[in-house]
Amino acid sequence: MKNNQDNFIGKLVGNTGQPDKLTIALRNSFSARRGEFVRIAHQERENDPNMDVLGRIVSLSRNSILFNPALGEGISEVELLPHSKVSGETVYGTIELVGYKDPYTGEIRIPRRPLNPGTKVYSVDYDFLTKFYDFSEDTSIHLGNLVGYEKGSNVVPVYLDANTLVTEHLAVLAMTGSGKSYTVGRIIERLVAQLNASVVVFDPHGEYGKALRGGTLNFNDRLDSIEDVRDREKLTEIQKRLQALQDKGAGITAFTPQIRSFTEKYAGKNQNLALQLDHFDVDEFSGVLPGLTEPQQRVLDVALRYWKENFEEPRDIQELFSVLDDLDRLKSWVAESGSPGEASALKGGSANIAAIRLRRMINEAQSFYTRAAGDPFDVYKMVGDDNEQYGRLCIVDLQGLSNTARQVIVALISSELMKAAGDKNRPIRPSFIIYEEGHNFAPNGEPCISKNIIKRIAAEGRKFGVGFAIVSQRPSKLDSDVTSQCNTIVAMRIKNPDDQRFIQKTSDYFSAADLAELPTLSTGEALICGRAIIAPLVVKVGTKALVHGGESPKVCERWGKPEI
């Protein structure tokens, strides 16, 4: 790349042996801004040619001899004569190296030989960055544009490798109002529309379901205001593609509890959930109702075994209630095949308490199979098998349910997805699962039935083509075994020190400079690290093709101001 005085911004000074803490003496305070990229010529071996190393300015300092705190109170009286040049000012920056591109493998490598002190440092332009961050649109999705290069003619798009993103798992972490759900929405609509993916979203607050409110696709109608022409054209293509998938019977489908308000929300175009509670393994079933005593758990285990052995599939949930209501029948059965502990549990009040709690959860969820509900839930109809041609976005709307009911539904559907993915005779399509409010489904240090299956997907899902994204505004509340398996992290504004420490502890992808960046990010900006991207980047997330349901309500408009 040609060097000239126009893009020369300063020189390396001091110790150059630490690639994450290089110091640059800048020409002036306008030479660079925090977060911008720079390039530095470097020779790795004695006979190697010079190559450009990419770096990022992670901090800046600016001092002046004239305005020095040592002057005390008199500093406020210091004035400069008109048209005089400020002297004695120093501007330094700290550079963290991204690396250089290996000419033989294309991999990004950090220099092992210290850079030369005194080497000139140059700013980078569109051509350099786009060559450095090459990508394939056939296997990548455009998340947004590089901060500092997101406007005008020098827009630098940032792409994520979809294969890595999906199979090696994703974490999206941010405080409330930073844009995490919007970011996830941008990712999944491009996975479905561009790459024909199967995506399942567990939606605790009905945010994603607004894209299908009224039973029809609801598109973003503000595309004309987008400055990035290329992105505007691509969003139009995505909208057309989503509509074409919808017309083919794929596209977006809402799966909901058997509650009238959901039918009204989706104008009858929703699919009622009719889950089979007996598909839980016996050793998992006790986790359906956390906090049960040991005798109460034994009662549920006995009832489940009896239900499975004496009733044919598909098993109606009402049959389980009839089993729990007829304790004499259970006692007789346990006397023949059960243990003394189970027989003792059935004699006390544990059976009634367990039955009451189970019935309450079932009634809250309104998502289990009865003959009156129609056909039982079929995971193949949700995501399709390997012969299915069309991508789909499956939104599981859990708005208004209790946490316990949500966790049971999430656990059952996730378990069905994993079982079907591992079926050698009829595997499902590779699938990507989104766990919104992930700290409620995989909490740290708390019993939760959905946590076990999510941990299993984190550990084994890759082998079967099942990946996940965990989304949370409280990273420190997440189970570390889950987040440690996420090989791509999208972090937005995070100010809580506990959350920052948790991210640093569970992920190797964040440097100290990256963590310092998190509290300063604006809404819609994200720091992306991990294997789906060539190097850590700060990105301004682009616009969605579908309407966004996670916006905060405009309360002043809703309050109104009536005449008094």
What does pTM read for this prediction? Answer: 0.88
Segment 345-359 shows an average pLDDT of: 82
For position 102, what pLDDT does the model report? 85
For position 473, what pLDDT does the model report? 92
Whether the per-residue pLDDT at 76 is higher than 70: the answer is no
For position 167, what pLDDT does the model report? 94
Q: Which of 34-38, 240-244, 284-288 has the highest mean pLDDT?
A: 240-244
For position 63, what pLDDT does the model report? 86
Q: In the structure, what pLDDT confidence band is assigned to residue 11 with cuts at 50, 70 and 90?
A: very high
Give all domains of the chain, ordered by start, each with its CATH number.
8-132 (no CATH), 140-262+380-556 (3.40.50.300), 277-371 (no CATH)
Question: What does the alpha-carbon distance between residue 128 and residue 123 come to, in Å, rounded to a whole number?
Answer: 10
Segment 412-436 shows an average pLDDT of: 96
Mind listing the pLDDT tens digit for each residue in 98-155? 899 888 887 888 999 999 999 999 998 877 887 887 777 789 999 999 888 777 777 8
Q: In the structure, what pLDDT confidence band is assigned to residue 334 with cuts at 50, 70 and 90?
A: confident
For position 85, what pLDDT does the model report? 57
- 45-57 b/e with 16+ CB inside 10 Å = b? eeeeeebbbbbbb
DSSP per-residue letters across 307-369: HHHHSPSSPPHHHHHHHHH-HHHHHHHHHHHS-HHHHHHHHSSHHHHHHHHHHHHHHHH--B-
Segment 377-387 shows an average pLDDT of: 94
Q: What number of other Cβ atoms are within 10 A of residue 300's Cβ? A: 24
Q: Where are the beta strands (DSSP E) in 174-235?
A: 198-203
Q: Nearest Cα to 194, choosing from 135, 153, 229, 235?
A: 235
411: left (phi over 0), alpha (psi -120 to 50) or beta: alpha
Q: Which residues face 546 on adjacent strands?
A: 219
Query: Between helices 327-337 and 317-325, what is the axis angle to 10°?
Result: 80
Whether the per-residue pLDDT at 74 is higher than 70: the answer is no
Higher pLDDT, 166 or 339: 166
Do residues 22 and 55 lie in contact, with contact meaning Cβ atoms separated by under 8 Å? Answer: yes
Mind listing the pLDDT tens digit for each residue in 50-72? 899 999 898 899 987 766 666 65
Segment 522-548 shows an average pLDDT of: 90
Q: Nearest Cα to 14, choosing from 120, 96, 121, 117?
A: 117
CA angle in degrees (0–180, nearest 5) for 79-82-88: 60
For position 244, what pLDDT does the model report? 97
Q: Nearest Cα to 545, choosing from 247, 233, 267?
A: 233
Mind listing the pLDDT tens digit for each residue in 458-499? 999 999 999 999 999 999 999 999 999 999 999 999 988 888
Average pLDDT, the chain: 88
Q: In the structure, what pLDDT confidence band is assigned to residue 556 with cuts at 50, 70 and 90?
A: confident
Q: What number of other Cβ atoms are within 10 A of residue 562's Cβ? A: 5
Mind listing the pLDDT tens digit for each residue in 494-529? 988 888 888 887 777 777 778 888 888 999 999 998
Q: Nearest Cα to 226, choosing from 141, 130, 155?
A: 155
For position 279, what pLDDT does the model report? 86
SS3 content of the chain, % helix, strand, coil (to 5): 40, 20, 40
Segment 372-382 shows an average pLDDT of: 93
Higher pLDDT, 295 or 545: 545
Percent of the chain with pLDDT over 70: 93
Q: Which of 38-42, 80-84, 339-343 has the highest mean pLDDT?
A: 38-42
Mind listing the pLDDT tens digit for each residue in 169-223? 999 999 888 899 999 999 999 999 999 999 999 999 999 999 999 999 999 999 9
Q: In the structure, what pLDDT confidence band is assigned to residue 425 with cuts at 50, 70 and 90?
A: very high
Q: Which residues face 122 on adjacent strands?
A: 8, 39
Percent of the chain with pLDDT over 90: 57
For position 137, what pLDDT does the model report? 78
Whether the per-residue pLDDT at 290 is higher than 80: the answer is no
Beta-strand pair 120-123/22-26: unpaired
* Range name among 104-113, 235-244, 432-441, 463-472 with the lowest pLDDT average: 104-113
For position 155, what pLDDT does the model report? 81
503: left (phi over 0), alpha (psi -120 to 50) or beta: alpha
* Range name among 159-163, 283-287, 306-310, 448-452 with the lowest pLDDT average: 283-287
Q: Tell me how many helices (H) and strands (E) the chain has.
A: 18, 19
Whether the per-residue pLDDT at 409 is higher than 60: the answer is yes
- With 0-12 CB in 10 A as exposed, 13-18 as middle and 19+ as buried, what is 461? buried
Segment 220-242 shows an average pLDDT of: 92
